[in-house]
Structure 1
């Protein structure tokens, strides 16, 4: 029997089909999806946004936790002309073996191969390089999007940054995740 909640304008019915659809879209648990739908008055988009916000808050709380497990993944593109090697850490080997984590690591390796970032985060950029880069690029944001992996628009969904994609994975998997390091190789390139 569907759950019902009385709202100002009348009665909204939250069905199991609605909960299932929201869970498939967001990866949220049954009760979280139900509560978000109830809070949103049955509005699927608003419920997804509520869950996203809750997930980001959970991810922020996990940021300080140690990440001693994870995966090293290689991605080769263009018939062997470009390759990327990336290490992404999480808290447990259980999460490292999940399909969600493996897909995230693969997508991040593809991001490195496609966009050729030089640093994982802003903190990794030497101050003199940061100043010079901002001068050359014309703005801080533009420079960071060129050289910082976490600041780049995600290649599979440019409306999100790589950091936002990682935060969503943290919320979904319930563990801290961080990109530790990466390397990119391009045939015939002199860059190390």
Structure 2
């Protein structure tokens, strides 16, 4: 049997994130040499990346990074397979490093982010693959949002107390108002609007909703003379659910989100909501 101690196993686990039995096996094969065991585990882990490609990554975390003066901010989702990994320190270190990289480099899109260099000679994609290997699970980076120019704030929501945030909301106001920014972000987290206002809903989406409403109404056998009015009512219901500004405000449902913004004298320029796996 190779000559190594429990401290060596602990050190190897800290260096690689591998399981205890894998670390013991690697130390056995490396005759107790920790450096050789690290190399062996990394090779084994990289081979496992391809094997994990077909597996599902529906757990994970949303992290945020807001500039000290609130002029810019980032929210980013990093996914994994289990909640065990999602709440691990090593996984969250990777997620926060990626958010910091986005904040520093402002990539135009996901393709640009994955191809950018996060460390000397290492792309973001390679960095994620390395996390995949070290953590032993499929790790996926496929969503982020970055705002700058106005007053930027984030709200992070935990759906379970022992897990990292599963919902992240980024908002940008035209001027500073921390209280309104937080309240509106909380509302967005809870009600999940897809669009800011009616005029932001794509025409093809409106047309589809109108067609579905009309076909549904006819299938219900409503009088022909009443169909147009019923369809408009259902379309208005869709807009209420899908667009933010007309929704009753979560913290005061007697007012709309638009009224809350107007009373505060601010404009919500844009928002992004990311929920893990959705």
Q: TM-score w.r.t. structure 1 length?
A: 0.65
> Equivalents in 2 of 1:41, 1:174: separation in Å?
23
Q: What corresponds to 1:180 in structure 2?
A: 142
Counterpart-to-counterpart distance in 1, 2:33 and 2:129: 24
CA distance in 1, matches of 2:110, 2:131: 17
Contact in 1 for aligned 2:18/2:135 (Cα 8 Å): no
Higher-Rg structure is: 2
Counterpart of 1:169? 131
Q: Tell me: CA distance 1:95–1:42, structure 2 relative to 1, closer, same or farther (3 Å).
A: closer
Match for residue 51 of structure 1?
41
Any idea what SS the aligned residue of 1:88 has?
strand
Give 2:197's aligned residue. Answer: none
How far off its partner does 1:113 sit? 0.5
Alpha-carbon RMSD? 2.5
- The CA deviation at 1:117 is 1.6
Q: From the superposition, tell whether residues 19 and 106 of structure 1 become closer, same or farther in structure 2 (CA, over 3 Å).
A: same
**CA 1:34–1:70: 2 relative to 1, 3 Å:** closer
Mapping of residues 14-25 of structure 1, within 5 Å: 14-25=4-15
In structure 2, C-alpha distance between the alignment counterparts of 1:44 and 1:62, rounded to whole Å:
26
Q: Distance in 2 between matches of 1:159 and 1:18?
A: 30
In structure 2, runs of 5+ residues without a counterpart are 151-269, 271-278
1:108 matched residue in structure 2: 98
Partner of 2:120: 158
CA deviation profile, 1:79-104 (whole Å, cap 9, x unmatched): 32331121222234443333333332
Paired with 2:109 and 2:87, the residues of 1 have a C-alpha distance of 26
C-alpha distance in 1 between matches for 2:76 and 2:92: 12
What is the alpha-carbon distance in structure 2 between the residues aligned to residue 95 and residue 24 of structure 1?
14
One of 24, 48, 73 as aligned partner of 1:83 = 73
Residue ranges of structure 1 left out of the alignment (5+ in a row): 6-12, 122-147
- Residue 95 of structure 1 is matched in structure 2 by 85
Q: Is the 8 A contact 2:16 2:135 kept in 1?
A: no
User: Which moves more between the two structures, 49-58 or 69-78?
Assistant: 69-78
CA distance in 2 between partners of 1:150 and 1:68 (Å): 20
CA distance in 2, matches of 1:117, 1:26: 29
